[in-house]
């Protein structure tokens, strides 16, 4: 059970076996994705036909369009990045405002508001998507009927995708930033105020630097969640497909290993992001 | 002095208003009003082009059409099964991380177990498709080992959907489980052992009651995410997936029947909310505490 209690040899062996099987289960799907990005065959399937970089750099003359020549795929990566940047900016800004609101201010209805802020996390993403889609369309129709204006940004498309993803990612940013603000020692601010600093100077030189790790952490999480979001995006997407939607479409058709190549690219990017964050976390305790 | 006090009071009000504005805008414009609108949409029926009347027709269709409520029940049951399986798979590894492995080893194992979840669900599903499809890796291995004479199709079964769902959900179960197991004092387990407790009875009377908040948090989140999943069931289950979110998509996007889609969406939301509420009530926990655990 625990190290201080006697454990029979078979239990130790079983534990080691379980850990090994568990790790195999976790990493096998990722490993095959990575390996078949280099297979010299038109489909990501065994047997192994030898090593190739065609799925990264191949062009049409060879009959194999590699990742870096596939303008559709590259365009969708770019779309995902733009969407993710908007979602990240909005979520961190609004999340920080919410954190100050919930930790520093007193007002009527605070309990209800704090409850309401958590609800987006328990609403399935598909439902968030369709409710925003329906509501935005109603507003757009209203605009046309009342003023004769075509409000295109309220029709399915990237602005709605940003709003849809923001609607729940901001809840996560709020939780992350609030948690850190809660632990802040307010006597530091009082000391600075007593020494003659203005409110804005205190915010800029003391409170915000203290919040920095939480701001950076929530920005990274927001970017990643936006980039990987599928459910909400699927309902709100217009003609420009972000990467997850594009990949989904191709996976249904049975795609070439170029999808493995783009996946490997994503894995590397995620790993780098994770490593950077962990290093930051280590050099800055608490 | 009085003037200055009045001035600061106005500043304080202004600050409060400025902080409240984005929060209210977010919650009203993107959460509350859209859901009210969705509810209104689900309670109406098209009687003529651009003419609607209040009615329960959409919900009647749901209960009258066996396909709809069969798929609804199927999605609920498979989600419950996936949640249970996720708990069973995640518990031992959470125990090993929290109790058996020591110091650096424990931290390292935890990080290694979380790495796959930094990668998009689309990529992970692609991996399972390459592994399981008829021309894929595992059928080839099975044939090579002589277990099956021909490569077998391992995709498009309910079991495949379950494997995919458990895989995707592991993270959301492991994090709260490890958290709640780490806070369990080893001395309690030692005491129980000294008093003659055996593995199973210690687990039942000490470990599980202590870890209950973590178990609840994990189960609630996993159930909700599984119920609302779209990618894994449709790709791993193919045409046989019959997942409820797929029907919502069909009504909304393919058939453009928003009234029916809204009704189906509301039923899914109701089921999801009911299960969250049930989980909280059974374990006697507060919603806000549970959400902070995950």
pLDDT below 50 — which residues of chain B?
1-2
Which residue of chain B has the CA closest to A266? B119
* pLDDT tens, position by position, B75-101: 999 999 999 999 999 999 999 999 888
Nearest residue to B30 (alpha-carbon basis) of A227, A99, A139? A139
ipTM of the complex: 0.89
What CATH number was assigned to the domain covering residues A82-241? 1.10.3720.10
Is A134's CB within 8 Å of B112's CB?
Answer: no
pLDDT attached to residue B194: 85
The reply to whether omega before A207 is within 30° of 0 (cis) is: no
- Using a CB-CB cut-off of 8 Å, the residues of chain B touching A4 are 186, 190
Domain boundaries, position B171:
59-293
List, for residues A167-181, the tens digit of each pLDDT value. Answer: 999 999 999 999 999
* A228 has a chain B CB within 8 A of its CB: yes
Residue B225's CATH number: 1.10.3720.10
Report whether B225 contacts A127 (CB < 8 A). no
Q: Does A263 touch chain B (CB under 8 A)?
A: yes
Q: Is residue B69 part of a domain?
A: yes
Q: List helix spans (H) across B228-257.
A: 231-237, 244-249
Would the CB atoms of B190 and A5 count as touching at under 8 Å? yes
Structure tokens at A179: 């948690």
CB distance from A48 to chain B under 8 Å? no
For the record, the structure tokens of A259 come out as: 């999808």
- Which pLDDT score, from 0 to 100, does residue A274 have? 79
Query: Does B281 reside within a domain?
Result: yes
Distance CA A133, CA A59 (A): 39
Q: How many domains does chain B have?
A: 1
Full-prediction pTM beyond 0.80?
yes
CB-based contact B230 A224, cutoff 8 Å: no
Which residue on chain B is closest to A237 by alpha carbon? B253
Interface of B with A in 94-133 (CB under 8 A): 96, 99-100, 102, 109, 111-113, 115-116, 118-131, 133
Q: Does the distance separating the beta carbons of A5 and B19 come in below 8 Å?
A: no
Task: Give the model confidence (pLDDT) of B26-51 as tens digits.
Answer: 999 999 999 999 999 999 988 888 78
Residue B275 to chain A, least CA–CA distance (Å) = 11
Type and span of the H or E element at A4 = none
Residues 6+ apart with CB under 8 A from A175: A118, B291, B292
Could you say which residues from 26 to 85 on chain B have a Cβ atom under 8 Å away from some Cβ of chain A? 26-27, 30-35, 37-38, 41
Residues A64-82 pLDDT 10s:
888 888 889 999 999 999 9
Residue bearing tokens 């059928």:
B139
Give the integer Cα–Cα distance in Å for A75 and A73: 5
Conformational region of residue B197, where left means phi above 0, alpha means psi within -120 to 50, and beta covers everything else: beta
C-beta separation of B39 from B266 below 8 A? yes
Domain-embedded: residue B70:
yes
């Amino acid at each position: 059970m625990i190290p201080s209690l006697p454990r029979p040899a078979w239990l130790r062996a079983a534990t080691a076996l379980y850990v090994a099987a568990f790790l195999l289960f976790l990493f096998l799907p990722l490993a095959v994705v990575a390996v078949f990005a280099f297979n010299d065959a038109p489909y990501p399937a065994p047997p192994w036909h030898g090593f190739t970089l065609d799925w990264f750099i191949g062009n049409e003359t060879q009959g194999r369009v590699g990742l870096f020549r596939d303008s559709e795929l590259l365009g969708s990566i770019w779309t995902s990045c733009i969407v993710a940047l908007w979602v990240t900016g909005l979520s961190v800004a609004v999340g920080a405002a919410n954190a100050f609101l919930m930790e520093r201010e007193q007002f009527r209805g605070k309990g209800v508001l704090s409850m309401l802020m958590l609800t987006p996390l328990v609403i399935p993403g598909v439902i968030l998507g369709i409710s925003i889609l329906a509501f935005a369309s109603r507003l757009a129709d209203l605009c046309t009927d009342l003023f004769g204006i075509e409000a295109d940004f309220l029709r399915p498309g990237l602005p709605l995708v940003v709003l849809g993803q923001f609607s729940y990612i901001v809840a996560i940013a709020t939780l992350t930033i609030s948690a850190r603000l809660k632990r802040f020692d307010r006597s530091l601010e009082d000391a600075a105020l007593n020494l003659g600093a203005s409110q804005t100077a205190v915010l800029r030189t003391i409170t915000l630097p203290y919040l920095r790790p939480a701001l950076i952490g929530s920005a990274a999480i927001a970017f990643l969640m936006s980039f990987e979001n599928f459910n909400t995006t699927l309902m709100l997407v217009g003609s420009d497909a972000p990467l997850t939607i594009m990949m989904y479409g191709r996976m249904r058709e049975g795609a070439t290993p170029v999808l493995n190549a783009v996946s490997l690219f994503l894995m590397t990017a995620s790993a780098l992001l994770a490593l950077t964050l962990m290093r930051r976390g280590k050099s800055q305790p608490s | 002095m009085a003037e200055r006090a009045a001035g600061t009071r106005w500043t304080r009000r202004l600050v409060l208003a400025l902080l409240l504005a984005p929060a209210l805008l977010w919650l009203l414009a993107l959460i509350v009003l859209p859901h009210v609108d969705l509810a209104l949409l689900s309670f109406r029926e098209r009687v003529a082009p651009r003419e609607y009347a209040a009615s329960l027709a959409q919900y009647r269709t749901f209960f009258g059409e066996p396909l709809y409520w069969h798929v609804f029940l199927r999605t609920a049951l498979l989600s419950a099964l996936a949640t249970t399986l996720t708990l069973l798979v995640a518990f031992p590894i959470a125990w090993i991380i929290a109790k058996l492995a020591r110091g650096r080893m424990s931290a390292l194992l935890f990080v290694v177990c979380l790495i796959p979840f930094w990668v998009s669900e689309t990529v992970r599903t692609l991996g399972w498709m390459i592994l399981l499809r008829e021309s894929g890796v595992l059928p080839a291995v099975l044939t090579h080992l002589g277990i099956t004479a021909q490569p077998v199709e391992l995709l498009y079964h309910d079991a495949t959907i379950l494997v995919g769902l458990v895989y995707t959900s592991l993270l959301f179960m492991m994090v709260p489980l490890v958290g709640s197991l780490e806070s369990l004092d080893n001395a309690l387990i030692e005491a129980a052992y000294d008093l003659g407790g055996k593995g199973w009875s210690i687990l039942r009377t000490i470990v599980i009651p202590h870890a209950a908040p973590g178990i609840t948090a994990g189960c609630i989140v996993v159930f909700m995410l599984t119920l609302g999943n779209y990618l894994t069931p449709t790709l791993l289950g193919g045409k046989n997936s019959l997942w409820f979110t797929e029907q919502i998509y069909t009504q909304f996007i393919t058939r453009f029947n928003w009234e029916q889609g809204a009704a189906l969406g509301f039923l899914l939301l109701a089921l999801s909310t009911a299960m969250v509420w049930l989980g909280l009530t059974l374990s006697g926990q507060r919603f806000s505490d549970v959400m902070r655990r995950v």
